[in-house]
């Protein structure tokens, strides 16, 4: 096999950075399935890992980055997959301790691989990627907690990001009354275009300080954490749920037990990395059918491997909108 392009991350005496290099299959991490990659994507975790901003995310160097990939099976030692099958991988150790999706070919354990569901192209799968999967998993966990359309407003924080954008669009398609919360005042029309009925500016939000504030939300998908998540615990309706997915606003949570013991609020942790395969496949099926955002073309921006550093900078600066989809097949 001829060499192929890969975005490899190195640690030069404490300086973490990446670049596009020529790689060979023999250099990749071990696995029983080889994927000819079509697309990958850029998640906040990718940006932290590739720049050294997330200390400890990468567990070895050098490493091909990218925690997502979609493409076709080039070879398989596992009878569940055949050459030419369209597949995707998100999570597990991909792009963390195992060479990831920013490469023309990716080799992985077959147990990590999800058959591409009918209703999604390989591009659309990466327009969703880990962020979209996290949003879909959040909606399903909230549904299992009892959330249904017609119960009231559902909040989505960090709404212009990858998780937030897909959550807004998926919830709107399912018939929920979505309120998008964002710090980007110029993005209100974008969020209404995704299906948000209301848009609130984080910059003018009155959060209050009481253990319980006015009950407002039937449910919430929170990609921010910190003070925002604490406020959601104080303002969620009795028996409502909050899906906690991110930490861009901080890792500490300062709240009281009052929302949980006086309103029965559920705080639901969302871990997309170790999600069981049975549930993982069901989430992807839903993302390809009733939860599939009608606005994926609006959410997704295509880039090349060479443009990854700029995408990382954009995400870390909090200036990203939607999703970056990386064309790795070239």
Residues 22-39: what's their mean pLDDT? 97
Residues 6-32: what's their mean pLDDT? 95
Strand partners, 39: 70, 327
- pLDDT surpassing 80 at residue 1: no
Q: Which pLDDT tens digit goes with each residue over 315-324?
A: 999 899 999 9
The domains of the chain, with CATH numbers, are: 4-116+296-327 (3.90.180.10), 130-269 (3.40.50.720)
Alpha carbon 254 to its chain's center: 25
d(CA 70, CA 132): 14
pLDDT of the residue at 88: 98
Q: Yes or no: say if 130 and 46 are a contact pair by the CB < 8 Å rule.
A: no
Distances (CA, A) of 318 to 4, 98, 224, 296: 32, 27, 11, 20
pLDDT of the residue at 137: 98
Joined tokens for residue 64: 């091909």
pLDDT of the residue at 14: 85
pLDDT of the residue at 90: 98
Closest CA to 202 of 136, 170, 249: 249
- pLDDT surpassing 90 at residue 56: no
pLDDT of the residue at 13: 84
Q: Which pLDDT tens digit goes with each residue over 225-263?
A: 999 999 999 999 999 999 999 998 999 999 999 999 999
Q: Which pLDDT tens digit goes with each residue over 277-314?
A: 999 999 999 999 999 999 898 899 999 999 999 999 99
Classified as helix, coil or strand, 34 is: strand
Q: Which pLDDT tens digit goes with each residue over 137-192?
A: 999 999 999 999 999 999 999 999 999 999 999 999 999 999 999 999 999 999 99
Which pTM value belongs to this model?
0.96
Residues 8-33: what's their mean pLDDT? 95
d(CA 280, CA 133): 8
Q: Which pLDDT tens digit goes with each residue over 61-108?
A: 999 999 999 999 999 999 999 999 999 999 999 999 999 999 999 999
What integer best gives the mean pLDDT of the chain? Answer: 96
Q: Yes or no: say if 139 and 222 are a contact pair by the CB < 8 Å rule.
A: no
d(CA 58, CA 48): 9
CB atoms under 10 Å from CB of 55, counted, come to 9
pLDDT of the residue at 231: 98
Q: Which pLDDT tens digit goes with each residue over 191-206?
A: 999 999 999 999 999 9
d(CA 203, CA 288): 34
pLDDT of the residue at 58: 93
Residue with tokens 């959330």: 147
Closest CA to 29 of 91, 95, 86: 95
pLDDT of the residue at 318: 87
């Amino acid at each position: 096999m001829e060499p192929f392009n890969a975005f490899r991350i190195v640690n030069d005496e404490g300086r973490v950075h990446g670049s596009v290099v020529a790689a060979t299959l023999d250099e990749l991490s071990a696995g029983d399935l080889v994927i000819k990659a079509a697309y990958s994507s850029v998640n906040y975790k990718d940006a932290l890992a590739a720049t050294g901003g997330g200390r400890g995310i990468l567990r070895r160097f050098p490493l091909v980055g990218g925690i997502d990939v979609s493409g076709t099976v080039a070879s398989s030692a596992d009878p569940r997959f055949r050459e030419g099958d369209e597949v995707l991988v998100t999570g597990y150790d991909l792009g963390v301790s195992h060479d990831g999706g920013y490469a023309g070919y990716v080799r992985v354990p077959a147990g990590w691989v999800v058959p591409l569901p009918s209703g999604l192209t390989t591009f659309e799968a990466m327009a969703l990627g880990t962020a979209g999967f996290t949003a879909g998993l959040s909606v399903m966990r909230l549904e299992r907690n009892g959330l249904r359309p017609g119960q009231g407003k559902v909040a989505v924080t960090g709404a212009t990001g990858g998780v937030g954008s897909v959550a807004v669009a998926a919830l709107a398609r399912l018939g929920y009354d979505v309120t998008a919360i964002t710090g980007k005042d110029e993005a209100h029309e974008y969020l209404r275009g995704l299906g948000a009925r209301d848009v609130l500016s984080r910059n003018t939000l009155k959060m209050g300080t009481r253990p319980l504030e006015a009950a407002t939300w039937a449910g919430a998908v929170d990609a921010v954490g910190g003070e925002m998540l604490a406020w959601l615990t104080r303002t969620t309706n009795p028996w409502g749920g909050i899906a906690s997915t991110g930490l861009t606003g901080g890792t500490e949570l300062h709240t009281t037990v009052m929302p949980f013991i006086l309103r029965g609020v559920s705080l639901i942790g969302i871990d997309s990395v170790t999600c069981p395969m049975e549930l993982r496949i069901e989430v992807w099926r839903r993302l390809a059918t009733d939860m599939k955002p009608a606005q994926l073309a609006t959410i997704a921006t295509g880039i090349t491997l060479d443009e990854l550093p700029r995408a990382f900078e954009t995400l870390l600066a909090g200036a990203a909108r939607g999703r970056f989809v990386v064309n790795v097949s070239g």
